Structure 1
Amino acid sequence: MSDTQFLETAMGRRIAYVKTEGKGPTILFLSGLKSDMEGTKAVALEAWAKAQGRAFLRFDYSGHGQSSGDFTDGAIGDWHEDTLAVVDTLIDGPVLVVGSSMGGWQALLLARARPGRVVGLVTIAAAPDFTEDGYWAGFSDAQKAELEREGFVSLPSDYDDDYIITRRLIEDGRDNLVLRSPLILDMPVRFLQGTEDTAVPTAQAVKLLEHVEGDDIRLTLVKGADHRFSDDECLRTIQKMVKVVLARI
């Protein structure tokens, strides 16, 4: 079992991470909203990377897992800052990013912010711009009024406790949208999406594919897979796509 270490960032956050040394590029796993680095996909991919002798890093955003802060205080931009701090401080050389759900949005933000560092990208049920296109677009007038009045709304979740969606999360999300302006991914990119995903519809995966620009971008639909994308077959598919991207870098 790898030991958890902590990074003190310039923003005053204490970020928990587990780093495995090996040959590069370093595989960086970015978890989803309210998920952490102990999730099935992160741990399984780490085990695969170790078996391959490859460098790997997983971490918890602030307000998640073992990192400092409360989830309800955080927002997309904060977690982007956490990701940048991890890449800039803890990783030398190129990075292959694997992002799950909200981590897919974070992966796209990272690729845009550090194009010279990110050399490959794999996303799993990527959820770019979900605060605007999912939450805000789906809110009723009453929910929007409650958000303005109370500063938050509570939404039921199929995967965890109720989600507390804050006004700051929505407003900060608008400052970090990636589907409203050109997004060039000059690297091998593989998007994975389950057809039974009720959190991120297949149409959103197609929208992302059509929006991004690049010469080596593919979308793979897995019939019957849900948003978790973490059964044995899905885990093998993730590993396969990482191998494909590694071979094409």
Structure 2
Amino acid sequence: MSEPDFLTTEAGRRIAYHRTAGAGPGVVFLGGFMSDMEGTKALALEDWARASGRAFLRFDYSGHGQSSGSFAEGCIGDWAADARAVIEAVTEGPQVLVGSSMGGWISAILIREIPSKVAGFVGIAAAPDFTEDSMWRDFSADERARLMAEGLVHLPSDYGDPYPITRRLIEDGRRHLVLREALAMPFPVRLLQGTEDEAVERAVALRLLDHISGDDVRLTFVKGADHRFSSPECLALVERAVEEVIG
């Protein structure tokens, strides 16, 4: 495994990234909550980009993977700022954003903030607004009270250690909600969602579809696919979606 390059942001966070040179528009992979750039989807897309001669970028948000910082100290606004900083610093021209889970939310924020840098969007089990519409919604009264009083609760995870959920994460998430108004996406958009995804409800994909304003927007449900969306068949679908968006 090659060593990453690093970018120090204006906020002083050190962001690890791997950039593959190639033709534009480039492709940027934005990972999920507590995931990193060494995941199956990111590496598969990197292989595809190399084989296709396409520019590609994968990176770790602060508090994730090989980047600096503690996960529990981060929030949606920080991670969106990290993504924006590395995209603006190391990519040339508009990019196709491929957002997995939380990366779909981060992508929507960036599309709103830096629309000239975006040529297309592929969402994989995209999870916009999940801190409010999933986490906070599903907290018990006791969990809400504890979070507000102590600033931290832990949620069980299917992927390892429990998730540390902070009051700052929830409150900052409310400042970055994207499903309260139309999302202008005047470029090709492909949304992919598994029917057996237990982390992101099907209704989220439909709600995102309804909020996107654009002329070339498609949602594909994949029967039997779970939240990982990493089977060979699912990875092939992701690659085809990226190719459609670029084409």
TM, length-normalised to structure 1 = 0.98
Aligned pairs (5 A) from 1:29-108: 29-108=29-108
Distance 2:160 2:29 in 1: 21
1:110-121 → structure 2 map (5 Å cutoff):
110-121=110-121
User: Secondary structure of the residue that 1:196 maps to in structure 2?
Assistant: coil
1:138 corresponds to 2:138: yes
2:189 maps to amino acid: V
Q: Which runs of 5+ in 1 are unaligned?
A: none
1:83-104: per-residue Cα shift (whole Å, max 9, x none)?
A: 1101111111110100000000
Percentage of pairs with the same residue: 61
* Cα distance, 1:130 vs structure 2: 0.1
* Secondary structure at 2:184 match in 1: coil
Separation in 2, partners of 1:93, 1:80:
19
Give per-residue Cα distances to partners, 1:182-209, cap 9 Å, x unaligned.
2111110000000000000111101110
Partners of 1:179 and 1:139 in 2: CA distance = 20
Separation in 2, partners of 1:94, 1:180: 26
The 10-residue stretch of structure 1 (171-180 or 83-92) with the greater mean CA deviation from structure 2: 83-92
Residues 45-104 of structure 1 show CA distances to partners (whole Å, capped at 9, x for unaligned) of 000000000000000000000000000000000000001101111111110100000000
Shift of 1:26: 1.0
Q: Please, which runs of 5 or more residues in structure 2 have no aligned partner? A: none
Distance in 1 (CA, whole Å) between partners of 2:82 and 2:170 is 18
* C-alpha separation in 2, matches of 1:24 and 1:233: 26
Cα displacement (A) at 1:2: 4.3
User: In the aligned structure 1, how far is the partner of 2:239 from the partner of 2:202?
Assistant: 21
Structure 1 residue aligned with 2:155:
155
TM-score with structure 2 length normalisation?
A: 0.99
Q: Which runs of 4+ in 1 moved over 2 A?
A: none
Q: Please give the alpha-carbon distance, in whole angstroms, between the structure 1 residues aligned to 2:28 and 2:244.
A: 16
Aligned length: 247
Cα-Cα RMSD: 0.7
Query: How many angstroms does 1:127 deviate by?
Result: 0.2
1:17 maps to a residue whose letter is Y
Q: Secondary structure at the match of 2:213?
A: coil
Q: Distance in 1 between matches of 2:117 and 2:198?
A: 33
Letter in 1 for 2:118: V
Deviation sequence 1:17-45 (CA, Å, 0-9, x none)? 00000001110000000000000000000
